[in-house]
Amino acid sequence: MKISKKISVISAAVALFCGTAMAVAADTKDQPWMNQKLAARERADLVLKEMSLDEKLKLVFGYMGAEWKNTPPPAEARTQSAGFIPGVPRLGIPNLWEADAGIGVASQAGPNAREATALPSGLNTAATWDPNTAYAGGAMIGAEARAFGFNVMLAGGVNLMRDPRNGRNFEYGGEDPLLAGRIVGAQIKGIQSNRIVSTLKHYALNDQESGRTTLDVKIDDRSARMSDLLAMQIAKEEGNPGSVMCSYNRVNGVYACENSYLLNEVLKHDWGFQGWVMSDWGATHSTIAAANAGLDQESGFPFDLSNYFAAPLKEAVQNGWVPPARLDDMVRRILVPMFEHGVIDHPVAAPAPATIDFKAHAAVSIKDAQEGMVLLKNSGGVLPLKASAQRIAVIGGYADKGVLAGGGSSLVYPVGGNAVPGLEPKTWPGPVMVYPSSPLKALQRRLPKASMRFNDGADPAAAARLAKDSDVVVLFATQWTGEGMDVPNLSLPKNQDALIAAVTAANPKTVVVLETGGPVTMPWLPQAAAVLEAWFPGTGGGEAIAGVLTGETNPSGHLPATFPASESQLPRPVLDGYPEVENRRFDVDYHEGAAVGYKWFDLKELKPLFPFGYGLSYTEFAMSDLAAEVKNGVLQASFKVKNTGRVAGKQVAQVYVAPLQAKWEAPKRLAGFQKLDVKPGASARGSVSIDPRLLAVYESASKTWKVEAGDYRLVLAASAMDPQASSVVVHLDAATYDVNGKPLKE
Ligand code: BGC
């Protein structure tokens, strides 16, 4: 029998777990908190009693895990990492080793950058509309985090897409609270299945990057609870993250990391969050105010102006400005998830990247990419590309070398290194990274009879000449985005619209593949034969794209965000605070309230370029038999999806609800969805249970969700603007639900 040298991380981790579980069991006499039969809370209380003031203070003060401002990280920090918090070895409390982020185990820039597997962007994962895929991706990157010696992953980004120009949209889950919350929640769960902690971030309303550390978001409680906060609430419920990261911005005048309304009231009191709140790196601004408002751990020394949770916190506790019981609460909140999620019972070991099966992990990433790519247009059956001999021009987007990744702290350095080093910007939030997975080569392998020629697209006239002399053209266009910046507008940068116009004019059989951080405008759309939105497609992006273009995989992604026809359709046609002026404080008025994305477009009767939920397939579906009933107080919808085409495919059935009498923030909301795999000619039945919060309006004074008695139209559709949608009307009685959507007696 041949035994592979590389074992799967999962089995390596299991071996580790068993070893440590036995070692830990022996200690329970002297260290009763090591008794795994006790509840996490009980264990945390037992160990808390043994801790000195200084030991408690150590746990609430975090360091940057890489050199910053000429300050080296603590010696025990993992190389080029985001964070480090020393544990309490005499009590068996391990260090916390923190790694970014939601796309994989990221690395701070530097000579020792770690190479890991990158998932496609968060938006791509949201575009899968499949929590199982999100979970699998989370489980994979969490396994790598453990193999690299990390026990906290700074993942779980679920800031709502209020503005398609936000440079970090690619890290998040799109514009709808239900979709984003479910997908990111599933990813968090997958990460934590490795007995490590994930965060949920950036709490809250950190929806643009320009001026992110100075801007003040204006929004009322009700609108926030029905939009951004709802996405976070759902992700928290689905994923049970051990930690929440508070954000840089201010909300209604108060910094998020010292905002008692956000931290003490909404997160801890109303939602019952039992874990710890860590600050974003540089987002702590005070000692007493922050500690008493609910911040449990300052992150990333030396990012903040001062070491607020070091000596100043000790003084504040000693003189009573921060009650000692509050310090205990801070520490308990760190310890409880460490016990609950297995960080203490199954400690991470020194980094062992050699144990990672990168091939198997790339396959997880490729599956995610293929499930999330969105076919936006396909006229004349140009796709899938035919296997017969033909001359194919491949143009632009570094397609001969690889696929684009987004920039900033979430950047995963790929195995094999940057395929196109030296692109600008080379420094933060760069380097611009191109993963070494060439779509051109992956296409050549799949279409051996075709003659393929590449042109880099730098000269539109030359590209057009090649296009003219080809049977079909595959043109790659890119939009790089990154943390700490927004894009100036929704146009493809670097003259690529002109390139596409020239190429489509030369050859109308042009397939445009987009690798973008989010929505872009497409002035050339009528002239292009096909468009595939491939987002930032991750480690194996070239393979994933070629698989979809050749029909090996039938595309099944649907947009997790509206693609506007122009910036003028947005609630803020001009992005506040752009371009950024350092230290300028300004307000961002979220006057659209909870009417985010398609809800805004519905409300204002605007026609987008592509609606939320939209996505084509190589087959056709017919959806029918929509029925609704209230069972045990829960509204449920069932339906049928028939594959009426010739190949197997997956349909994303979406159920929207529109009130006929009640007044909502917008005409309709997504209330449920299900992705169904259907063979040609076959039918599948689907059903969704509807969260009552999606049928209700939040009432701030009573902290309840109120469903108004009346008629509600349930719409079964394949997008937010599906002309073939069918609907039924149901009558709902008045009902009241608590702040977490649990029924209350009328
Ligand atoms: C980002 C966080 C990240 C942290 C640590 C910050 O700049 O906003 O998302 O986790 O840095 O790298």
Beta strands in 416-534 (DSSP E): 434-435, 451-455, 472-479, 510-516, 530-533
Does the Cβ of 171 fall within 6 Å of ligand 1?
A: no
Nearest ligand 1 atom to the CA of 83 is: 5
Within 13 Å of residue 272, how many CA atoms lie on the same side as its CB?
A: 7
Same fold? 38-355, 368-569: no
Give the atom of ligand 1 at the shortest distance from the alpha carbon of 206. 8
> How many angstroms does the Cα of residue 232 sit away from the middle of ligand 1?
17
**Residue 551, token pair as written in the block:** 């029909």
- Site to probe by mutation for ligand 1, drawn from 80, 85, 100 as the one with most ligand atoms within 8 Å of Cβ, is 100
Q: Is the CB of 304 under 6 A from ligand 1?
A: no
Regarding the domain with residue range 619-744, which homologous superfamily does it belong to in the CATH classification? Immunoglobulins (2.60.40.10)
Please state the domain extents for the chain: 1-30, 38-355, 368-569, 619-744
Q: Does domain 368-569 have CATH number 3.40.50.1700?
A: yes
CA 363 to chain centre: 19
Chain centroid offset of residue 373 CA: 15
Q: The tokens of 64 are what? A: 């940057």
Which amino acid belongs to residue 542?
G
Give the H or E element holding residue 184. Answer: helix 177-192
Phi, psi (deg, nearest 5) at residue 345: -75, -25
SS (H, E, C) 656-714: EEEECCCCCCCCCEEEEEEEEEECCCCEEEEEEECCHHHHCEEECCCCEEEECCEEEEE
Ligand 1 atom closest to Cα of 247? 8
The finding on whether 409 has its CB within 6 A of some atom of ligand 1 is yes
- What lies within 8 Å, CB to CB, of 703 at 6+ separation is 270, 738, 739
Dist. CA 293 → ligand 1 center (Å): 21
Q: Which residue in 102, 92, 101 sits closest to 27, CA to CA? A: 92
pLDDT of amino acid 232? 98
Choose which residue among 249, 281, 284, 412 to substitute to test ligand 1 binding: the one with the highest number of ligand atoms within 8 A of its C-beta.
Answer: 281
Decide whether any atom of ligand 1 lies within 6 Å of the 378 Cβ: no
The CB-side HSE value for 506 (13 A sphere, CA atoms) comes to 25
Cα separation, 534 vs 123, in Å, equals 10
d(CA 538, CA 554): 18
**Residue in 394, 378, 389 with CA at minimum distance from that of residue 474:** 394
Question: Is 305 strand, coil or helix?
Answer: coil
What separation in Å is there between the alpha carbon of 576 and the centre of ligand 1?
22
- Round to whole Å and give the CA distance between 308 and 689: 46
Segment 430-441, tens digit of pLDDT: 999 999 999 999
Pocket test for ligand 1, best of 114, 169, 280 (most atoms within 8 A of CB): 280
Ligand 1 centroid to residue 410 C-alpha, Å: 8
Helix axes 324-340, 311-318, angle to 10 degrees: 120
Please report, as a single letter, which amino acid is at residue 4: S
Cα(107) to centroid(ligand 1), Å = 11
In whole angstroms, what is the distance from residue 279 CA to residue 244 CA?
8
117 Cα to the center of ligand 1, angstroms: 19
Rg of the chain over CA atoms, in angstroms? 26
520 lines ligand 1 (CB under 6 A): no
Segment (H or E) for 97: strand 96-100
589 CA distance to ligand 1 middle (Å): 24
**In angstroms, how far is CA 294 from the centroid of its own chain?**
25
What does the alpha-carbon distance between residue 385 and residue 202 come to, in Å, rounded to a whole number?
A: 41
Cβ proximity of 125 and 104 under 8 Å: no
Give the dihedral of Cα atoms 593, 599, 605, 610; nearest 10 deg.
130
pLDDT at residue 69, as a whole number: 86
Residue 112 CB-density burial (10 A; 0-12 exposed, 13-18 middle, 19+ buried): exposed
What is the distance in A from the centroid of ligand 1 to the CA of 157?
10
594 lines ligand 1 (CB under 6 A): no
The enclosing H or E element of 378 equals strand 374-378
Annotated active-site residue in 130, 163, 176, 280: 280
- Nearest protein Cα to ligand 1, atom 7: 281
Superfamily of domain 38-355: Glycoside hydrolase, family 3, N-terminal domain (3.20.20.300)
How far is residue 673 CA from its own chain's centroid? 18
> Token pair for residue 133?
């895929």
Q: DSSP characters for 192-249?
A: HTTS-EEEEEEETT----TTTTT-EEE--HHHHHTTHHHHHHHHHHHH--SEEEE-SS
Q: Whose CA is nearest to atom 5 of ligand 1?
A: 82
Nearest protein CA to atom 4 of ligand 1, as residue: 281
Q: What is the pLDDT at residue 16?
A: 41
Q: Is 299 in the pocket of ligand 1 (CB under 6 A)?
A: no
Nearest CA to ligand 1 atom 11: 281
**Of the candidates 436, 598, 661, 399, the residue with the CA atom closest to the CA atom of residue 515:** 399
Q: CA dist 713 to 37, 357, 657, 660, Å? A: 49, 49, 6, 7
Find out whether the beta carbon of 209 lies less than 6 Å from any atom of ligand 1: no
Q: Phi then psi for 380, rounded to 5 degrees?
A: 65, 20
Are 403 and 434 in contact by the 8 Å Cβ rule? The answer is: yes
pLDDT score at 746: 56
The rounded Å distance from CA 264 to ligand 1 centre is 22
> Which helix or strand (DSSP H or E) is residue 178 part of?
helix 177-192
Start-to-end CA distance of the chain, whole Å, equals 67
Mean pLDDT per block of 10 residues along the chain (746 residues) reads 35 39 61 98 98 98 94 96 98 98 93 92 98 98 98 98 98 98 99 98 98 98 98 98 99 98 98 98 98 98 97 98 98 98 98 96 98 97 93 98 98 96 95 98 97 98 98 98 98 98 98 98 98 98 98 98 98 96 95 98 98 98 97 96 98 98 98 98 98 98 98 98 95 97 85
Is 207 among the residues known to form the active site? no
What residues have CB less than 8 Å from 371, skipping those under 6 apart? 127, 128, 130, 133, 556, 557, 650
Q: Cβ(280) to ligand 1 under 6 A?
A: yes
Dist. CA 435 → ligand 1 center (Å): 22
Q: Do 60 and 309 form a contact (C-beta atoms < 8 A)?
A: yes
CA 672, CA 558: separation in Å to the nearest integer?
14
Residue with tokens 């230290």: 583
Distance CA 354, CA 119 (A): 19
Q: How far is the CA of 93 from the centre of ligand 1 (A)?
A: 25
Q: Would you say the CB of residue 153 lies under 6 angstroms from ligand 1?
A: no
Looking at the CA of residue 157, tell me the nearest atom of ligand 1. Answer: 9
Burial 423-462 (b: 16+ CB within 10 A, else e): eeeeebbbbbbbbbbbbbbbbbebbeebebebbbbeebee
Instruction: Verify whether ligand 1 is closer than 6 Å to residue 281 (CB atom).
Output: yes
The answer, yes or no, to whether any atom of ligand 1 lies below 6 A from the CB of 154, is: yes
By the 8 A CB rule, do 364 and 144 touch? Answer: no
All residues at 6 or more sequence positions from 316 whose CB lies less than 8 Å from its CB, including other chains: 287, 288, 291, 322
Ligand 1 site, residue 100, Cβ cutoff 6 A: yes
Atom number in ligand 1 closest to CA 484: 7
Distance (angstroms) between ligand 1 centre and the Cα of 128 equals: 25
Half-sphere exposure of 501 (CA within 13 A, CB side): 8
Residue 135: helix, strand or coil by DSSP? helix
Q: Are 242 and 197 in contact (CB under 8 A)?
A: yes
Q: State the closest ligand 1 atom to the C-alpha of 100, by its place in the atom list counted from 1.
A: 10
Q: Which of 56, 59, 94, 60 is CA-nearest to residue 297?
A: 60
The whole-angstrom separation of Cα 595 and Cα 224 is: 10
Q: Is the CB of 82 under 6 A from ligand 1?
A: yes
183 and 134 Cβ atoms separated by less than 8 Å: yes
Whose Cα sits closest to atom 2 in ligand 1? Answer: 280
Mutate-to-test residue for ligand 1 from 154, 170, 191, highest number of ligand atoms within 8 A of CB: 154
Taking a C-beta distance cutoff of 8 angstroms, is the pair 697, 642 a contact?
no
